[in-house]
Structure 1
Amino acid sequence: MLAGKLGLSLASVHASASAVWPPTGLAIGALIVGGRRLWPAVLLGAFVVNITTAGSIATSVGIAVGNTLEALVGAWLVSRFAGGRHLFERPRDVFKFALIAGLSTMVSATIGVTSLEFGGYAAWTEGGRIWWTWWLGDVVGALIIAPLIVLWTQPPVFALERRLEAVGVLLVTVLVGALVFWERGMLPVPFIAMPPLIWAAFRLGVREAATLIVILSGIAVSATVRGLGPFAV
């Protein structure tokens, strides 16, 4: 629920639609790891977040159902076609996961926006713009957060020198991210933040790279909403 509140605090085009929505990744990742039997927790969490933010009981139920179906569809497709919990062991399964993330999130965006429109909380003429923002936020959440959940279900095994290297890459990532996104004009090109991620992927592993992506994304989002960095409008 905390992740949901955080996501909705970044909403722009509508109070119920955010371009950054971590709960999608949390839900899909949890269902991949823990099984689809966890869907009631997704439903309850989504309902509580929405009913305490905006809309009515009816629209909150509709949105919660959409979020739950999105997670169920995404987790089922990953388990059926992309290797389940082992989806990051083969490149082709990673590409399948990206495709699944794009497809399954359409469920939540469509049901959610339709619920708002029928409930009178969104104009029909604004539906397309809200849908696009909703879908984009869910895709971002799925691609960034779900890998973190899946990859960290098993404890990492590092030699001491690799642990020191991991700490070093983490510090470099945070430093570069701060210079790119928080310091005006210091490093205006966001692609400068890519080398630490590439280093982590090749030297440390996909789990560590996924972790750094989440950290760097957090730095970028926190700066952008404050009008800082190359992505600020």
Structure 2
Amino acid sequence: MNIKLPLKYQRDLQIIGVALLYYLSARLGYFLAFENTTALPTWPPSGIAFALMILLGRSAWPGITIGALVANVMAYWNNPNLGAQTIITISCFIAIGNTLEAVTGNYLMKVWIKDPYPFRHAKNAFRFLFVTLFVCVIGAGIGAASLFYNHVTSTDTLLRNVFSWWIGNVVGILLFTPFILAIAQGMKQRIKPKKFLEIGIFLFSVTSIYFLLQVDYLAMTLERSLPFLVLPFLLWLAFRFELLVAISGVLTTALVSVYYTTVNNGPFVLTTPDDSMLLLQIFIGVISITTLILSATVKERIDVQHELQKFNENLEAMVEERTRALNDEITSRRTVEEKIQRTNQELSKRNTELDNFVYSVSHDLRAPIASVLGLINLARKDQEATMKDMYLDMINKSALQQDHFIKEILDQSRNSRLEVKREEIFFEPLIDETFSQLKFATSTGKSVEKIIRIKQEKPFYSDRWRLKVILNNIISNAIRYRNGKDPVIKVDVEIADHNVTLSIEDNGKGIEREHLPNIYKMFYRATDDGAGSGLGLYIVKEAIDKLNGNISIDSTVGKGTTVNLRIPEIA
């Protein structure tokens, strides 16, 4: 209930407030009036009414009418030459004129200027000036006509009354309307420290002029020169500060000038009050118009500078964004090109391997079969039991060779197709299992001595099957190409920093140095004894690449071979 009550009477309170402001400003206008003349140097209510109409809208017009009616009744009430009915009639017409003046000005602001604060652009400031000159004709014309038709003024003074009334209203709007609108806008920017220095210089200069006026030698000259001395300071305020500061300086200068002129002091005092008032009004109009136009021009320039700065920032951001997009596109294209290049290289490699594979498979698969068929024919023809046992051993060797070859082909196919699988690895049982499976890799010769050293304190995570394939091929090569006496295979395993390092060393036949660069190629054989298929180290290299590891082989003919592996743990 306490909230709804003020809202219900908000418009009534607004009207009363407008009427009160109008009346008080009228009292200020009468206070600044010249003696022995009905004209006023400035009529503040015109500016107050115009500003309130702009800020509050058409709902403010009853307050303007009421305030104007009361102010004019009070002004003419003590005139002994006018009756009450005449006073009320004159006051009503003047109130209507003042109201129409404000309403018309508000309408033109909306349809022509289209900005409730017309001092952002020089064009709108000029339009505000033209609106002021036009609407003041309404108030002055209706007011002067009411006095004429009620026989307060004569025909001889009608035109002069209209002009005096009009210029007083113009001065009132030029002084008070921008001031109130600037207060409503508020200070958009805080005054910077360097501006305080300028304010200090301004105050010091004004104070210096005041003290110079006290010097008899300079007093008369400076007094006559005051309008010229004041103008640079007002332009300074308009150029360096916002409109609120500049128009405050103009308003202060105008009110002080009016007051001193009404008491016959200052540079505007002429032979008659009307002449003094006209000169004063011209001065006030000039400084007001100059300040408003200059302030609007400076504001427009600052806004343009801010817009250009913002545009430059946006342009820089757009350029950076576009550059970043182009860089991303270039990087993406480069990545795609590199991927295509790698794919082409991989395809070329696979095609070469496929050609070699077809050739070698056709040869290595048919060779054991042809050998078996030939041995079977020999066994049929030869009747000796000892020869048949030899033939069976030879057939068994050919079958084992073919089985080993087929197993390597399956390992290669599986390694290229299957994804890496993360499993818990303990190397001691894995290596023991590998040696157990290769125990009968050959049927002749002495057994191999194995020396195994494993440094593993916790599980290692990798692909168990691929590790098994790697160890099986390397250890089987060490066994297959062992020397004729005391063969030894040393296996050293160490796990540190999520990496496993394996070293497999033998004292076998070794590999000639010219063969080392090619030993990872498919079907490449470093010896001509036909014991291997040429796939073992190729499969080892492919499996290590799948695990993101690396391999290096150091070998000396007649002394042995050392294979070093480093494989990272799968996260």
Give TM-score scaled by structure 2 length.
0.38
Larger relative strand fraction: 2
Larger relative helix fraction: 1
Residue identity matched to 2:224: P
- Cα distance in 2 for residues equivalent to 1:91 and 1:59: 39
Map 1:78-227; keep pairs closer than 5 Å.
Answer: 78-156=109-187, 157-161=189-193, 164-165=196-197, 167-168=199-200, 171=203, 175=207, 184-189=220-225, 190-227=227-264
Residue identity matched to 1:109: A
Q: 1:2 aligns with which of 20, 24, 44?
A: 24
Residue identity matched to 2:50: I
**1:106-158 deviation line (CA, Å, top 9, x unaligned):** 00111001111112222222111111100000011111111011111022132
Report SS of the residue matched to 2:190.
coil
Structure 1, 174-183 or 135-144: larger mean CA deviation: 174-183
Shift of 1:172: 5.3
C-alpha RMSD over aligned residues? 2.5
Alignment partner of 1:231 is 2:268? yes
Could you tell me which residue of structure 1 aligns to residue 40 of structure 2? 18
Preserved contact between residue 101 and residue 138 of structure 2 (Cα < 8 Å): yes
**1:162-193 deviation line (CA, Å, top 9, x unaligned):** 66257436635864786799965434221210
Could you tell me which residue of structure 2 aligns to residue 27 of structure 1? 49
Shift of 1:199: 1.4
Preserved contact between residue 41 and residue 258 of structure 2 (Cα < 8 Å): no
Shift of 1:2: 2.1
- Cα distance in 2 for residues equivalent to 1:58 and 1:116: 10
- Cα distance in 1 for residues equivalent to 2:231 and 2:62: 38
Residue identity matched to 1:198: L
- Cα distance in 2 for residues equivalent to 1:52 and 1:109: 19
- Cα distance in 1 for residues equivalent to 2:111 and 2:68: 25
- Cα distance in 1 for residues equivalent to 2:105 and 2:201: 32
- Cα distance in 1 for residues equivalent to 2:181 and 2:102: 14
Preserved contact between residue 43 and residue 64 of structure 1 (Cα < 8 Å): yes
- Cα distance in 1 for residues equivalent to 2:178 and 2:212: 24
Preserved contact between residue 177 and residue 216 of structure 1 (Cα < 8 Å): no
- Cα distance in 2 for residues equivalent to 1:177 and 1:146: 29
* Count of matched residue positions in the alignment of Structure 1 and Structure 2: 232
Cα distance change, pair 87–37 in 1 and its aligned pair in 2 (3 A): same
Preserved contact between residue 257 and residue 266 of structure 2 (Cα < 8 Å): yes
- Cα distance in 2 for residues equivalent to 1:194 and 1:8: 27
Percent of aligned pairs with the same residue? 28
Shift of 1:201: 1.4
Could you tell me which residue of structure 1 aligns to residue 97 of structure 2? 66
Give TM-score scaled by structure 1 length.
0.89
Shift of 1:226: 1.1
Report SS of the residue matched to 2:40.
coil
- Cα distance in 1 for residues equivalent to 2:101 and 2:70: 17
Could you tell me which residue of structure 1 aligns to residue 64 of structure 2? 42
- Cα distance in 1 for residues equivalent to 2:213 and 2:71: 29
- Cα distance in 1 for residues equivalent to 2:249 and 2:192: 19
Preserved contact between residue 105 and residue 135 of structure 1 (Cα < 8 Å): yes
Residue identity matched to 1:217: A
The higher-RCO structure (CA 8 Å, 6+ apart) is 1
- Cα distance in 2 for residues equivalent to 1:27 and 1:176: 37
- Cα distance in 1 for residues equivalent to 2:183 and 2:61: 20
- Cα distance in 2 for residues equivalent to 1:29 and 1:177: 34
- Cα distance in 2 for residues equivalent to 1:28 and 1:162: 35
- Cα distance in 2 for residues equivalent to 1:45 and 1:174: 37
- Cα distance in 2 for residues equivalent to 1:214 and 1:115: 30
Shift of 1:5: 2.0
Structure 1, 204-213 or 44-53: larger mean CA deviation: 204-213
Preserved contact between residue 35 and residue 262 of structure 2 (Cα < 8 Å): no
Unaligned runs of 5+ in 1: none
- Cα distance in 2 for residues equivalent to 1:181 and 1:214: 22
Shift of 1:37: 1.3
- Cα distance in 2 for residues equivalent to 1:22 and 1:181: 30
Cα distance change, pair 73–194 in 1 and its aligned pair in 2 (3 A): same
